[in-house]
Structure formats: C-alpha cells, structure tokens
Amino acid sequence: MASSSILPNLFLMISCLLPCVCFSTDTLKQGQSLNSTLTIVSANGVFELGFFSRGQPQKIYLGIWYKKIPTQTVVWTANREYPIRSLSCSLSINREGNLVISDGRGVSLSFTTIAHTNSNTSATLLNSGNLILRDNMGNTNSDVYMWQSFDYPTDTLLPGMKLGYNTSTGHVMSLTSWTTSEDPSPGVFSLSLNSVSELVLNNTKVAGPKGYWNREVSSFFIDFRPSDIFEFVYFDDQYSKYLSYRLYNMSISSRLVVDSSGKVKQFIMMPEGWSLFWEQPRPSCQVYALCGSYSSCNDKLIPNCNCLRGFQPNSLREWRQQVWSAGCVRNAPLQCGSKDRSLPIKNVKLPVNPTFVDASNADQCELECLKNCSCNAYAYSISRGCSLWKGDLVGVEQLESGGYDLFLRVAAAELEKINGDSRNNTTSSLSGTSDTREKVLIIALPIFSSVLIFGFFMYCLWRKKLKQRGKREIGLDLLSFDFSTKTNAVNGELSDKNKNASGEKWEAELPFFNFSSISTATDNFSDANKLGQGGFGLVYKGKLLNGQEVAIKRLSRGSKQGLEELKNEATLIAKLQHRNLVRLLGCCIEDEEKILIYEYMPNKSLDFFIFDHRNKTILDWEKRIFIIEGIAQGLLYLHQHSRLRIIHRDLKASNILLDNQMKAKISDFGMARIFGGNELQGNTGRVVGTYGYMSPEYVMEGLFSIKSDVFSFGVLLIEILSSKRNTGYHIADSLTLLEHAWKLWNNQRGHELIDSTLLDPSSVLKALRCVNVALLCVQELACDRPTMSEVVTMLSNEETTLPSPKQPAFCTRSSIEKSSSLNKLAVPSTNYVTITSINGR
C-alpha cells in the first residue's frame, strides 16, 4: 500500500526534473496529443504552450509562458480554477473540435466551447502568444479564428490583447490576479473597463466602493512616463469598446499584469531580467482592502500590513507569504454590554462604510457604540460627528499626521492583557543594576556634553537663519488669511517697506502657511474634498473661514525635488500675474509636506468639456472662441510681456482651467523654463512633456523655444474646434488628428473638422480662419510658425491676410524621455500623458 503511493510521487518528481520536449511545429492537430513533457512553441520562438506546476502539493496547469526567459513567466492559464493533480495529463482536440485537458484518469475538461463537428481543426500558438483554434476546411481566411486565448485573458495583458467588452455579445475581457505568486487560481483583484470608459481596479472579495483605483481611459497613464517602447490605443464603436497596446519593436518583450498585491504593473524585459516600468496605484495603501479586515496599512513599514491591537492574522501561513486579503480576527470575542472597552488607535485614516449617528461629544458617541452589540469601532470629531462601524473594519491606514483617532471595541479581558503587556515592556526596559548605570554614565556624559555644545552652536546658526527668512518660515494661518486684502504679498509688488539694509528693493515673497491650518481647511484631506490626482500627488478643495475656496495641491512625498528648488519655483510662479494664468496664492513646506495653494477653478479643466459627448455642448461656439483667445493672451504674456520670458512646455487641454465665467486660465508650470532677455532657444537632454503636443524639434533634438509652445497651442486649437483628441484615437484612416485636419484642409473641406454641434452658417468663415491659424502653428519647421503676438493678431483681426499652411508635422516618433536603462531601445514613441511635478531650474 505504501509503495503504491510512493511510485506516483516519485514519477511526479522525476517528470519535473526532465526538460520539456517541444513539437517540431507551432500547431497541434486533431488526432495529436500533448502530454506533460511536451510543448509547442510559436514560430518566432518567443512563446511556449505546455503544462506547468505550482504550489505544494503540486497542482498542474496548462499555460503559455516566455520560452527564452530563464525564470518561467506565465502569461495565460487555461484551467486556473480546475488544476490537475496528476502528471499523466494531456491536451488534445476532440471530435467536436474543442481543446480538451485529460487528467489520465478518465476525467476531461474542455476549456473551449465551439459547436463544430469536422475532423480538420487545429490549434496554433501564434507569434503574439495567442493560442487560436482554426477550421482548416470551412475557413480559408487565416485571420478568422473559431476561438482564441486573447479573448479570455487571465492576469496578463500582452501586446495585441484587448481589455474591454463586446457590446453586441456582452463578452467581457478583464484581468484577474493570481491568488499568490505561486497560486494561479483567480485572486481577489480585477481590472476591467466599464461602460463610461473608465478602467476600474477592484477588490472582488470585499464589498466596498466602486473600484479603489479608477481612471478615465484618457488619463489612465497619468503616472506613466513617456515611452518609446509601446503605444496604447483606445477603440470605441457600436460593437466593442476596449483598450489595447502594441510594441514598436517586436523584439522587445513587455507585459501588463494585475498582481496578487492589487497593483497594475507594466514590465519590460531588459538584459538583466524583467524591469518594472510603471505601476498603479502608488502607494500600496491605496489598494482597497489590501490588508483585509481588522488590520492597518502603513506605506512606511515593511510589510505594509499589521493586525490592529487585539487581533491576529486569520491565516498565519498566508500572512507570512504577504497575502493579507484574509485579514485578521479577534484574539477574544466581544462580550457585549458593559464588559467591552474602547481601545484607541491614534492618527489613522478611518475605515470605509461608516454609519453616522447623533452624538454631541465623544463620550456619548462611545455609549452609542457600546450599547449596540454589532458595533466594532467608533470615531468622533467636530467636523464629522459620531461615526460607528457595525461590520468588518476595512481600509484603516496608519498616517504620520492629519489623521483621526479610531476607538476599537475589545473585550475587557483583552484590553487588560494589552495594557499588561505594555507595562511589562516598560518595566523590562527600566531594569538594570547600579553598576550598569555607572558605566553608562561614564560613557554618556562626555558624549552628552559634546552634543550639547554642538547643539548650542547649531541653535545659534538656526536663529541667525530664521531672522534672515523673517516671518515666512513661521507659517501663516490659511483659515484666517484674507487674500483680497493682502494682494501685495501675492502679486510680488514693490513698496518702500520692501528694502534691505543697503536700501536696495527686494520683492515680497509668497505667503507660507502652516500645515495644520491647511489640513483643517480640507477637513483632514478628506476624500469628499478631493478634486483630482496625478503623478504629482493629490488636489483638494479647501475652504477658509470667510467662505473663500482654494485649490490645494499636496505633492507626493516621493517627489525628487528639493525644498529650496520648490521655494524658488513657487516664488517665480507667484510673480506671473495675468487674467489668463492660474494664480498661485501660497505654499507650505513643513517636514516632508510640500503643498501649493492656487485659486480655485469651479469649472474644472477644458478636457472635461470638449472630450465628453455629454458636456461638450455646454461650450458653444462663442464660448470656445472666448477660451481660444484667452489661452492665446496668456501665452503671449508668458512669451513677451512678463519680466522673464517663460516657455510653458506642457500646454494641453487638461492644463487649461476654467473659472465661473468660463475664462481660460493656463495652469501647471512644473515643466516651465525661464529665458533671459536675449535667449531665444534652449536645449535639454531630458525631454519631458505630453506627447502629441510636443514640437518635432523638441522630441527629436531636445530643442525648445517660444515656437514649441506655439506648436502646442496649434494642437490644442484643433482639439477645441473638433472636440477630438490628437492622440490615442484612430480617426478614419488617419493616424492623428493633425493628419486628419491637413487632409480635410488640403481637399477644401476644412469646415468638416469643426464639431458639427457648434457651427451655424454665420460662423463658418471664422471657423475656417481658426483652422488656418492652427495649421500654421503646427508647421514642421519652427521658423514657419507664427509668434503668439502674430497668432493673437490673426485671431482678432479678420482683415489680416493669412498665409497658406504647408504640410504640418505629424506623429514624428522619437525618444521622449531618455532613461539610462532604455536608451539602447531605439524605437519610436507615442503617448499623451505628462508627468506633472514642479522641477527646479
């Protein structure tokens, strides 16, 4: 009996050590069989199909992986929900023409469902990694398949795969993570495309908000640096809606994965192995329910997840594997009534799904919780009132500052145990003999004296520096600050008071505010006040005591910019005063916090209107012309009328904000460059910006000038006129919107570029004039483009004769951002998302 159980295990062990033998072709035909030691390989030798094993005890799966990569990287799994236990398994095509996995014991699993009855069906592994079923008799079209694995992705999106759904059949193509790195079964995290063109990353196990990370397709890659590796494309028609991507150089391997930690990651194969190109969301604690229930997440700790006090891991084995989704359970059950106590957890982001009850103070809130046996925690604050949690606690995050106090409900005995452990630790830390104390004093006194002297010296230096900086570093109270009566501080105006000891004038600096007042103005940076987010961090709406609203941009702590550079940059932006520029009101630099405060724009950004089929009608023809002229005036100020010549370098629809009167205001000067009075052109080895808006000379050679901004303005002008994006969408047979515009103009059909919902016959001539100006702005050579002064004249003076445009620059692809690890990959680039952060000069 014992020997009979040993033999199969011995066979399993030996089989795993034997190398797989591949078929001589990339095709499996009807009548052939693929066993656990055989594989088929794509014609280009990149992908391999066969059986692989994972876990202990071993489970067998049919999958596709990269053949030439030493560490097996599985990109597709056929039977992830139904693993096989025996290596005597095989893959074949049955009489109906379906692919069938047999376990060698008479049990078969068909993972394709084709209603077919002939005997001439074959399965081929294509060069793309797509496994397809083809009818070799009835269908002679090699591009038409009866079934393909690309329609059923698992956790990985390969180039050419689709993420979306078929609107006619209802078939959904989404990604679902592995349970763990060693368990291919479906995990709890999924990435899908919804009906309003949003990509949604969600935790399918925990009932919570609609996706802990949502992005419109147009801004999906908000944290994605410009790439010369691949191009993402969005497709939307009456039959299907999906996102896909393609490689410019097919010799490069890249994959997008939803991993078991709940993140979307893009990898590129480099000589040293897989390299992480980007990931979302960042940081890890933004992953919804990453730590499961009754645990807290902390991005500053490794591992990120820890059980709350009074709780222990639900599965210690999974917890050690850093799979935290099962969460934690109580050490001792609640007794209900007066036998339970409240345990404070300081400075946290509160759990999701609270229940709000009436309570005038914290004590009353505690009573409301304790008298309800289903209540597991409570929190009280003046701004939020009393919040109770009657279900599992999910989404607790430990913060460094700006958080709330959460009170856990625990059994009285458990609280005594926790307090007892704390006292024991304190007693233990204070124990020791008198001899030890004497030795410590002998060593410590000289060190303490040296530190004291050094500290006094540093204190003197600090006091001197503080006097030089003045009140700015003290930090003003944002809540009570009245911007309307303190415009001198904001506008950088000169007065007799602004003089130094030598009598020379200095410019009033930007107000610096303290962090606590900013936190209060945003209700502790609550989600209800969040306006948006990007690679720079988060933007919140803040409200002052006088009712004024401001926009507060909280830069991410991962920003590489130094404090002095930020101060210099912020002070510079504050000096740019024009009705068509967003005004910077102040900033905050405190510990690791870097915050910028802007005037609040209630109507969001231009892209919110012109690229949305529901909102675009709000901007009629007159409003769009008003916006176009405002943008032109703002650029003219930067280029010509400000005391320093400013090149914006990132002009695009999302950086044009609209006030309550729909007045356009240029924002986001994070990539701006300053020119001296005689400078006309600059050069950079690090090209940053938004692809599709960048001029050819900037993309190809790193050259930028005022004509670079003119090119961006031309692209933006065409987008405003047509209500279409320049990149990311295919328009008829044209690659970009610029090419489409040129073809229409060249064929005397320029009016067809204009959004059909805008024009009436009286506006056609003005519209054609705008198209003409836009095409002049996007000329391939910088010398052929007008200046913004000429653009303003062309738009405002209809008697000015306009020159005929030449063929403009289309998508001239080149390296966007030259990374040391990617310089050798000389392939083209298309991308329309920017990294928005303030860079020091």
Query: Higher-confidence residue: 527 or 153?
Result: 153
Whether the Cβ atoms of residue 563 and residue 838 lie closer than 8 Å to each other: no
Is 825 within the bounds of a domain? no
Residue type, 808: P
Contact by Cβ (8 Å): 552, 545: no
Average pLDDT score over residue span 56-70 = 91
Q: Given the structure tokens 């009712």, which residue do they identify?
A: 547
Spatial contact of 629 and 796, defined as CB atoms under 8 Å apart? yes
What average pLDDT score do residues 70-95 get? 90
Residue 479 and residue 466 in one domain: no
Question: Do residues 328 and 281 both lie within one domain?
Answer: no
Q: Where are the alpha helices (DSSP H) in 654-786?
A: 696-701, 706-722, 737-746, 764-777
With a CB cutoff of 8 Å and minimum separation 6, the contacts of 286 are 212, 213
Query: What is the pLDDT, as a whole number, of residue 216?
Result: 60
364 and 379 co-located in one domain: yes
Between 748 and 425, the more confident residue is 748
**388/243 same-domain check:** no
How many C-beta neighbours within 10 Å does residue 296 have? Answer: 26
Of 140-154, 407-421, 459-473, the poorest mean pLDDT is in 459-473
Helix axes 737-746, 706-722, angle to 10 degrees: 80
Q: What percent of the chain has pLDDT over 70?
A: 76
In this prediction, residue 466 carries a pLDDT of 60
- Phi-psi region for residue 744, left (φ > 0), alpha (ψ -120 to 50) or beta? alpha
Tell me the DSSP string of 599-658: E--TT-BTHHHHT-TTTGGGS-HHHHHHHHHHHHHHHHIIIIISSSEEE-S---GGGEEE
- Asked if residue 399 is part of any domain, the answer here is yes
pLDDT tens-place string over residues 2-27: 444 444 444 444 444 444 555 558 99
Residue finishing a domain among 236, 267, 286? 286
For range 422-448, the mean pLDDT: 55
List of residues 6+ apart from 322 with CB closer than 8 A: 261, 303, 305
pLDDT at position 302:
80
Highest mean pLDDT among 125-129, 676-680, 835-839: 125-129
Q: In this structure, are 515 and 401 located in the same domain?
A: no
Query: Annotated binding site for ATP: which residue ranges?
Result: 553
- For 58, half-sphere exposure in the C-beta direction (CA atoms, 13 angstrom radius) is 15
Segment 380-395 mean pLDDT = 88
* pLDDT value, residue 138: 56
Segment 562-576 mean pLDDT:
64
Full strand arrangement of the beta sheet holding 99-102: 33-35, 90-93, 99-102, 108-110
How far is the C-alpha of 521 from the C-alpha of 526, rounded, in Å? 10
In a domain, 75, yes or no: yes
Average pLDDT on 766-782 reads: 93
Specify whether the CB–CB gap between 65 and 72 falls below 8 A: yes
- Would you state the pLDDT for residue 840? 32
Residue 41: predicted pLDDT: 95
Q: Are 112 and 94 in contact (CB under 8 A)?
A: no
**What per-residue confidence (pLDDT) applies to 604?**
87
Tell me, what amino acid is at 662?
M
pLDDT band at 124 (very low <50, low <70, confident <90, very high): very high
Q: How many helices (H) and strands (E) does the chain have?
A: 15, 46
Number of folded domains that form the chain: 5
**CATH at 124:** 2.90.10.10
Residues 360 and 380 in one domain: yes
For residue 837, pLDDT over 70 is answered with: no
Cross-strand partners of 489:
none
Q: Domain range holding 445?
A: 437-470
| Residues 458 and 483 grouped into a single domain | no
Is residue 523 flagged as an active site residue?
no
* CA separation, residue 233 to residues 160, 193, 245 (Å): 10, 14, 6
**Residue 197 confidence (pLDDT) above 50:** yes
Lowest mean pLDDT segment, chosen from 71-85, 91-105, 167-181, 661-675: 661-675
What pLDDT is attached to residue 559?
Answer: 56
What does the CA dihedral 825, 827, 830, 831 come to, rounded to 10 degrees? 0
Measured distance between the N- and C-terminal CA atoms of the chain, rounded to whole angstroms = 78
pLDDT of residue 49: 96
CATH, residue 357: 3.50.4.10
Separation of alpha carbons 217 and 207, rounded Å: 24
Binding region: 553
Res 464: pLDDT: 63
Q: Strand, helix or coil at 132?
A: strand
- Which of residues 599, 628, 663 is at a domain's end? 599
List, for residues 700-720, the tens digit of each pLDDT value: 777 888 999 999 999 999 999
Pure H helices in 66-214: none
**Do 660 and 514 reside in the same domain of the chain?**
no
CATH number, domain containing residue 653: 1.10.510.10
Give the pLDDT band (50/70/90) at residue 721.
Answer: very high
Strand partners, 33: 92
- Assigned domain for 193 exists: yes
Tokens representing 18 are: 């034997």
Phi, psi dihedral angles at 487 (to 5 degrees) = -70, -25
- Stretch among 72-86, 489-503, 534-548 having the lowest mean pLDDT: 489-503
CA torsion through residues 378, 379, 380, 383, sign: negative
pLDDT in tens, 291-349: 889 999 998 888 889 999 889 999 888 888 778 888 999 988 888 866 788 899 999 98
pLDDT tens per residue across span 251-302: 788 999 999 888 888 888 877 788 887 777 777 787 777 888 999 999 888 8
* Radius of gyration, CA atoms only, the chain: 32
Tell whether 140 is covered by a domain.
Answer: yes
Amino acid at 429: S
Cβ–Cβ contacts within 10 Å for residue 657, how many? Answer: 24
Verify that 696 and 555 share a domain, yes or no. Answer: no
132 and 118 in contact (C-beta within 8 Å)? no
- Predicted pLDDT of residue 22: 56
Say if residue 230 is in the same domain as residue 244: yes
Residue 830 lies in a domain: no
Asked, for residue 804, whether it belongs to a domain, the answer is no
Per DSSP (E only), the strands in 438-492 are none
Residues 184 and 208 in one domain: yes
Our measurement of the distance from residue 77's CA atom to the centroid of its chain's CA atoms, rounded to an integer in Å, reads 27
Q: Which of 650, 668, 709, 755 is catalytic?
A: 650
Q: What's the rounded Cα separation, in Å, for the pair 495 and 162?
A: 62
- Any idea what DSSP says for residue 351? P
Greater pLDDT, 453 or 421? 453
- Structural domain ending residue among the three candidates 267, 286, 305: 286
- 736 and 593 in a common domain: no
Average pLDDT, the chain: 78
Q: How far apart are CA 97 and CA 633, in angstroms?
A: 67
> How many Cα atoms within 13 Å fall on the side-chain side of residue 94?
15
For 795, the token pair is: 């738009």
Helix then strand then coil, % of the chain, to nearest 5: 25, 30, 45
Query: Does a structural domain hold residue 8?
Result: no
Lowest mean pLDDT among 33-42, 506-515, 697-706: 506-515
Residue 459 has pLDDT above 60, yes or no: yes
